[in-house]
Amino acid sequence: MERLLHDVWTRIPEILAEEDLSSVPTIGNRNNVFLAAITIASYQTLLGLGLEGTYARELCSDVGWTL
């Protein structure tokens, strides 16, 4: 779990570098962009750990709905 979280948080700055959060107009919009970056990083990390795409998407979806 620690490796998973480390890998996810390592990917987030790379993903956010593509979007200048200061140009996003509202706090709510910035929050959505940040949550999307977490989701993308999680999915990429799960794929990198060898999970099949379908299962990785299912896990990301389950976590998203649980939170």
Convert 7-30 into a string of H (helix), E (strand) and C (coil): HHHHHHHHHHCCCCHHHCCCHHHH
Asked whether the CA dihedral 24, 28, 34, 40 is positive or negative, the reply is negative
Shortest CA distance to 31 belongs to which of 42, 57, 39, 48?
A: 39
Per-residue pLDDT at 19: 80
Output the pTM of the full model.
Answer: 0.85
Phi, psi torsion values for 62, nearest 5 degrees: -60, -45
Per-residue pLDDT at 18: 86
Contact residues for 56 (Cβ-Cβ < 8 A; gap 6+): 43, 46, 47
pLDDT tens for the chain, 67 residues long, are 899 999 999 999 999 998 888 888 999 999 999 999 999 999 999 999 999 999 999 999 998 888 7
